[in-house]
Amino acid sequence: TVNIWINQNHINTFRIAFLLERMCPREYGLGRRFNETYFGHFNDAVTAVTKAGAYAILDPHNYMRYNDPSQQPATGSVIGNTTDPAAATTLQFQHFWNELAGRYKNNKHVIFGIMNEPHDMPTSLVLQNDQAAINGIRNSGAKQLIIAPGNGYTGGHVWNTTSQGDAPSADYLYKLRDPINNTAIDIHEYLDTDFSGQHSICNQSFPANMYGLTQWLKTYQLKAMVTEFGADNNTMCDQYLTEAVQYMNKNPEYIGWTAWAAGPIWGASSPCCTDQRALGSLEPGSLASDGSPGLYYTVWLKVIEKLVPRQLQKSGISSIHGGPCE
């Protein structure tokens, strides 16, 4: 459905998730050695997207953990935790990103998403690991856009506050250094009561909850990309979702967004916001378990697609300076 998204739905960015343990099997350890068969499958997806003229975010979906993905986000050792003998080191994480970025350094349409949703760890260690990834990517010669997450599942609503007992991301993430200044902040923000993206009722104001983050971005002259958000297919959520997309489109601190989620693997399952009801996904042609139209029809076409910016970056290297990018 890549060409459907690009040609009919007029988007220009796909976020492609993978597990570190599949790319770097546990018997190898985290680092430069990949399972080349798995990398080949992943690369097929990246190549399909970028050859079609869109941008691809590379997304290790591991919550800053490695070695046990069975019950994520709760399992696995925190990368860089020096008190855990089973944990991968920050240097290994740097080596991993050096290797992966080196394989894509000539593909201008790639974006490097450092890590999905770090949580329940020292925010100082999130900064340390993010910086190591940036160093690894830039040392490979890659110059494309990097997006760096904070702590607390990288939620915008907790950016300036203590989350899970850890220091605010705002206290640390401004310290990131990119020698070519092409790094943005990676943010997730859902609209339900606990910001989990699991519930069908929307009651969290995106503009209000993102205000503190936006002011922080202005203070430090930084940019952000919201790579996960979503809502159910009810009238209440239509309003909250519209406000969210309009806010991102109107505030220049946000260089783009990706909605969660599409992909054929979902089938009738719902990746977002339905209280576990099987209402389908944002995948074109998606159907609910009862055969009725899925979230592609009831959320994407009904609400989100109408709000996609008319002017989107279509060529050139991925960059914080590239203009509107959905």
Active site residues: 117, 228
Alpha-carbon separation of residue 266 from 18, 272, 300, 307 (angstroms):
15, 11, 16, 24
Cis peptide leading into residue 324 (ω within 30°): no
Beta bridge partners of 55: 13
Cα–Cα–Cα angle for 56, 111, 184, nearest 5°? 135
The rounded radius of gyration (Å) of the Cα atoms in the chain is 19
The amino acid sitting at 9 is: N
HEC-encoded secondary structure of 162-180: CECCECCHHHCHHHCCCCC
Phi, psi of 20 (to 5 degrees): -60, -35
**Terminus-to-terminus CA distance in the chain, angstroms?**
17
CA distance 119 to 169: 11
CA distance 254 to 252: 5
Cα–Cα–Cα angle for 290, 1, 293, nearest 5°? 20
Q: Count Cβ atoms below 10 Å from residue 149 Cβ, excluding itself.
A: 27
Using the 8-state DSSP alphabet, how is residue 72 labeled?
Answer: T
CA distance 23 to 151: 24
CA distance 123 to 131: 12
